[in-house]
Structure 1
Amino acid sequence: MKVIAARNYGTPEVLRLEEWETPSPKKNEIRIKIYNTSVNSGDWRIRKPDPKLVRLFFGITKPKQPILGISLSGVVDGIGANVTKFKIGDRVFGSTGMQMGAYAEYTCLPESAVIMILPKEISFPEGAALSFGSLTALDFIQKCNLQKNQTILIYGASSSVGTAAIQLAKHFGSLVTAVCSIGNFELVKSLGADFVMDYEGFHEESHNKTYDVVFECVGKSSISSNLQHLTKGGVLVLVGASFKDMFQAVLISLTKKINIKFGPIAETLKNLQFLVELIKIGKFKVVIDKSYPLEEMAEAHRYVEAGHKKGNVVINIAS
């Protein structure tokens, strides 16, 4: 099978096309013929690595698992002897989690993984994109305990996480202010944003509003600038927090008793099912910016790392 492997950490050029033996599922595993995967911030941060702390989890000198990629969609084409939840031919989507391995034509996962049947209302590209940004946004919004009529500012609102967060915040009845580039105003308004603001406007002295939740999606604004716009007793969310940000957030939480959320999310089938139900009733949509063939993975990484994508970037592997 074809895979994209990162034998070393570094620039997108470390991503190389290789031929590997197609895996066979163990007794409790399913084998998925992958149709689509996606490239997200987590992928390029592991590849780079950024922060350097990534090495402690994924390999000190080089990636222990050279095939990156977390989210996928495809068709079950092999099952282990003990598998009961899936059958050959099932359309599926979900997350490989810390196991990664989605940058490939096939992968094997335990049937207990965060994988579920892909409904007919959702395309393979949408399924592959759904299980990163959308799950991330939902988990953090749940951690905030976002309530009806609360105000939320979403910084980096046109990103994968941001486009999901807008829709979820509106679903829960919140008033949404979206911060993004002027060229993305129409997109975020179409997703439900009540107010829009560009990045310069956010940082201007005249911007003196405060919000119940400040939801920083892209790791490009300082904690201090975000706290200026947080109401007393509000919640600051740092989706793209660096190690330095995390350390600072812990100190602020302890010394100033400010509620700051960061860190890994909890990927659950319950949350994935929740998103599926919203899509089915027309209350949520997956925003896809660009798609690339598997062979152009390095270019896809360059584009995503540049930080200007609108929603999600999808990789086409099979059809």
Structure 2
Amino acid sequence: MPVSDPFLEGFALHDIAVNGVRIRAAVGGTGQPLLLLHGHPQTHATWHAVAPRLAERFRVVAMDLRGYGDSEKPPGGAGHINYSKRVMAADAVAVMQTLGHDRFAVVGHDRGGRVAHRMALDFPERVSRLAVLDIAPTATMYARTDKDFATRYFWWFFLIQPEPLPERLIAADPEFFLRTHIAGQSKTPGSTPPALFAEYLRCYSDPATRHAICEDYRAAAGIDLEHDAADADRRMQAPLLALWGAKGVVGQTYDVLETWREKALDVSGHALDCGHTLQEERPEELLTSLEAFLG
């Protein structure tokens, strides 16, 4: 029997078997289906201030990506294929189909936005609308890397190092690494309350989670770029909303809308007055933007 989610009021937790893995998903609300995908180092609990409000208008599914939270953490496989955004997108589509949703809107933050980007390319018939939070396209960010970006987003280059280097170094003090990472990206003190941080730390304290996270980033720097190169001339068909934090690295480094106009046919968006984690730092402003876009 599903149990109540301790962070998303009114949501029930489900364990759903898809693609040979078990995915944890919180489900709540009524209306048109809406999928929420978190980023690193968060879990689906990152939507705690947003999902219950969205559930007043939508049937909301907030899932833990494979390797994160309480979803299963399979081996990476050859070339880190099992953490490619293609495979992670297929997980999400299968979860939604299992719950009875063949076509749905998607909101993805950070890694979840990259999964959503791949989903809109691989499953265009499934994605009605797409919102990405505080990212530029992966291939664009790697192609335009300079010293400033490599310094401020150091984990993009640290976590991709061969196993077990990053896993063992983080294992020495997971709380310090996690706290430093979140503090560096958030520009709104107190936006990650202690109970939420404790939940992230619970998951991050699992060696299997830390390894899976590294595999996610290794895939992004390898097989995901191969998939992106093969689709370089394709554009997403679904309307795309790009939102970003004006105080964050992405907003200060890129013309965010222009990067997405290279990848999608219908792009809109704007900055919010915050850092990287819009759903925790500026939930009310994010809700206003999402509700206008989702309609």
Pair in the same fold by TM > 0.5: no
More helix by share: 2
Instruction: Specify the structure having the higher radius of gyration (Cα).
Output: 1
**TM-score, reference length from structure 2:** 0.28
Per residue, is there more strand in 1 or in 2? 1
